[in-house]
Structure 1
């Protein structure tokens, strides 16, 4: 139900305060969400700061109220806005893909530090394309590939790539089976589904695509499938980085070791949680 709309004052500052009050029961950062919504409506991050007494106007008010209604109905803010920031990229997002999260920056920063001098980079389970596009923006000279089993997700990722002027090889299919025979990679990154079917966090994520969240009964099924099919596509000395749940680090490291990966390590995210496991491929142990 739409709250009572302020009638007297139309200034941007007044709308910001009103929005903050309306969003107070919806999330834990109502002031920040209110600012994001208002800045999106204004199509500017500066107008609110420069002209707080300027009027919002009828057309912009209609969009603001539409966005607020969706947010109050429980829709995640990034889906309401239709875009979200990740590693300084402004990416289109909608219910076809997961919302890019700061946790994944741990994987991207590791990958940026290990990009090869030349060769191909692979992102398995690309979703919105956030990871591969962040890498391609930093080093556009490399050959970038991305796989997803969802054609709908790939369509959105392709739009994100086109908007950034990045030419990515987008491949539809089930993990490594989507790759051409003989194509090899020096760096592989993946943030695959890693929740178990009965994971209690799923209730909080009901608006996001379940296929991108749930791997199966154990939550490890995607890692197992990737590692089982990846060996023919690896250059000697290739590196891999997996994002995972903070309680899965030991299990993912064990899978990597059983599939002949070496130098297995785990990195923590900004909150100190075990978030990314990495390893190096050796041709001698294949």
Structure 2
């Protein structure tokens, strides 16, 4: 059975100032998602599931309708601020969606096979999809997940700070912890992140998560159970977010899974800020000129 690619595309793009999921950046106005889908298809993925908001469904279908339907199966799942979850009778009022793990959870009825999760607005590199597909086809199990790990210095933006999940890995290559670090950027002292008490250094070679995960479908049920507990613990915190690493760290700490970190030397490209756009456009033009991608992805 071919694995599925779950694309988280319900973000608001507040720092970017618009719907960056659909902003054309390739030589023919291709969006970043299209390169991920192209890479996934040639790596052997058999289905794409988009997690989007209802208010952008028409724009998504207009952008992608029929473009690659003959190459891969496409499905949609919808995340709202308070998309209901079985086991919770009433969700508290919110100011924003519950976060990435909740976004995964809303796709539970679309996926029954091993699957990968990515962000819609990140470019992950050709080799990363091949490595993830190989894992999902050959090694994925109810107690064995994976993650593509990127070198921190290849994931930074020159336009401003970024947040990254910094990973700790044991000698067997298994994730032991992932800690979200905020406001990471290059400074005169090197790469640093910001905490309440000031700036702290990070190694440029540190492995970080770019939200490229490989899961067995049993993750849906454990995530649902953890979400029920999270909601009860954060009913009075309308901005609390239920992130994927919260679920993963708990499963690791409870000894329920091993998670293999697959190192990747590719450079990340993304559009956190409008100022990132020219750099990403230049990168896709270069990759196309080098023959990594055809000039017209879908012709």
* TM-score, normalization by structure 1: 0.30
Which gives a bigger RCO, structure 1 or 2 (Cα 8 Å, sep 6+)?
Answer: 2
More helix by share: 1
* TM-score, normalization by structure 2: 0.29
